[in-house]
Amino acid sequence: MKILIKGGTVICPYNNIEQKLDVLVQDGVIARVEQEINEGADRVIDAEGKYVFPSFTDIHVHLREPGQEYKEDIASGCAAAAAGGFGDVCCMPNTKPTADSEAVISYILKKAEQAPCDVHPIAAITKGLAGEELTEMGELKKAGAIAFSDDGRPVESSRMMRLAMQYAKAFDALIISHCEDRLLADGGVMNEGVRSAVIGLKGVPWTAEALMVQREIMLAELLDTFVHIAHVSCAQSVECIRQAKKRGVRVTAETCPHYIFANDSIVQNYDAMSKVNPPLRSEQDRLAVIQGLLDGSIDCIASDHAPHHIDEKLVEYNTALSGISGIETSFALSYTALVKTGLMPLSELVRLYTSAPDSVVHLQGKGIREGAPAKLTVADCGRESVIDAASFVSKGKNTPFDGVKVYAGIVCTVYNGQIVYEA
């Protein structure tokens, strides 16, 4: 299969290209990148007025398989990833059974062989995510685990997290921390503040997150090792990370499109589609998170794609499950909030979706250059569209952004030389 992508503006953060170029894909790899290619191809994609990016990387995705295929499975989650412009996804281990054994990691990798993107499983830090016994990190890494996390819940014991970081350091493995002090969160369902008081829902204070962020930073400092902070949602977490980086602590962090695009005001209709953990925070927090992206305190954007069955969401706010099905709207929400508003150039946003997440989890080999695997995303950034949850490729239709106007639609996604998604 020969694909010629003609007339698009190529933005490639891996090798600092921002230029109008034609791209020829042949036999699964990028064969030529030149100003004008006039060669016969099986498919010619007219990218005039559009952009060509290396396909995106999402380092925080819940694919739900094995065990919760009624919410999502590897095939549907990866098809959704392709629709969102992603060529690499790292999937979280809160599956059933937990991805805490070689068998589950191998199962995920085997199932992912047919997928329209590369899947990198993240294994659990503790067995069954119970926080009591460490997993066999060395063996899990050998089996293909790209990182370790108990995401969905925190490692509550500081001693256990210290041991985990020590152990991970020995295997050169990355710990990704879900930062939440559950005693402080105390069953809260939204951000604690004026709004939670007014609408009468129990709040989660920002301290529940920031205290844990600070704990992880201090442990990483103590052990002189790496730690990655998942889904940063509040100003104080950003500040802890900013100060730690200044001291030279090897901490990295991600935030998610929903913390960039929305604040806790959207909770006031009591629609549990907006329930997510950590919760949507105040406008001040949203702006601080954006500032964190702008000054490099936050390294990248990840979707925390958390598909749920509609029956788990169409219930009272207090009983609904937390999570947003976000991989298909990730780039458009971020683009609309950051680039359309003039806060960030497009090339910087593309970096936050490609080389930046790759460097957090040490993924290599991408980029728009001759000989590289053909993993590309064509986007129409000028195109206005309205988010339509019913048309999601993901099984999870749970989004608070249904009906919202956004920019930057994915036109097509190429994975290893094949068109795996076309709008």
Catalytic residues: 304
Residue 233's SS3 state is coil
Contact call for residue 274 and ligand DOR (CB under 6 A): no
With CB under 6 A as the contact rule, the residue among 13, 152, 367, 409 that binds ligand DOR is 152
Minimum distance from residue 15 beta carbon to ligand DOR (Å): 34
Q: Please, which residues bridge with residue 415 across strands? A: 418
Task: Name the CA dihedral angle for 197, 203, 206, 208, rounded to a multiple of 10 degrees.
Answer: 150
Q: Is 215 in the site for ligand DOR (CB under 6 A)?
A: no
Q: Which residue of 65, 151, 181, 312 would you call a contact of ligand DOR, by CB under 6 A?
A: 151
Told to check if 72 binds ligand DOR by CB under 6 A, we report: no
Q: Kindly state the number of chain residues that form the binding site for ligand DOR, as judged by CB under 6 A.
A: 10
Angle, helices 235-247 vs 207-223, to 10°: value is 10
Instruction: Closer to ligand DOR by CB, 306 or 344: give it.
Output: 306
Q: Which of 310, 342, 324, 296 is nearest to 387 (CA)?
A: 324
139: left (phi over 0), alpha (psi -120 to 50) or beta: alpha
- Cα torsion 46, 52, 54, 60: sign: negative
Structure tokens of 336? Answer: 């609309």
Note whether 93 binds ligand DOR by CB under 6 A: no
Query: Of 80, 212, 306, 338, which one interacts with ligand DOR (CB under 6 A)?
Result: 306
Q: Cis bond leading into 121, ω under 30°?
A: no
CB nearer to ligand DOR: give 256 or 412.
256
Give the residue, chosen from 101, 225, 236, 322, that forms a contact with ligand DOR under the rule CB under 6 A. 322
Q: Tell me the per-residue interface mask from 33 to 62 with ligand DOR, x by CB under 6 A, - otherwise.
A: -----------------------------x
The residue count of the chain comes to 423
Q: Which helix (H) or strand (E) holds 252?
A: strand 251-255
What token pair was written down for 216? 């992880």
Decide if residue 94 touches ligand DOR (CB under 6 A): yes
Residue labelled with tokens 């239709």:
397
Can residue 313 be called a binding residue for ligand DOR (CB under 6 A)?
A: no
CB of 198: closest distance to ligand DOR in angstroms? 23
Biggest CA–CA distance in the chain, Å, is 64
CB of 111 to ligand DOR, least distance (A): 19
Residue of 323, 357, 367, 409 that binds ligand DOR (CB under 6 A): 323
Asked if residue 155 binds ligand DOR (CB under 6 A), the reply is no
* 120: contact with ligand DOR by CB under 6 A: no
| Distance from C-alpha of 295 to C-alpha of 203, rounded to nearest angstrom | 29
The strand pairing partners of 6, in sequence order, are: 46
The residue ranges that bind ligand DOR (CB under 6 A) are 62, 94, 151-152, 178, 276-277, 306, 322-323
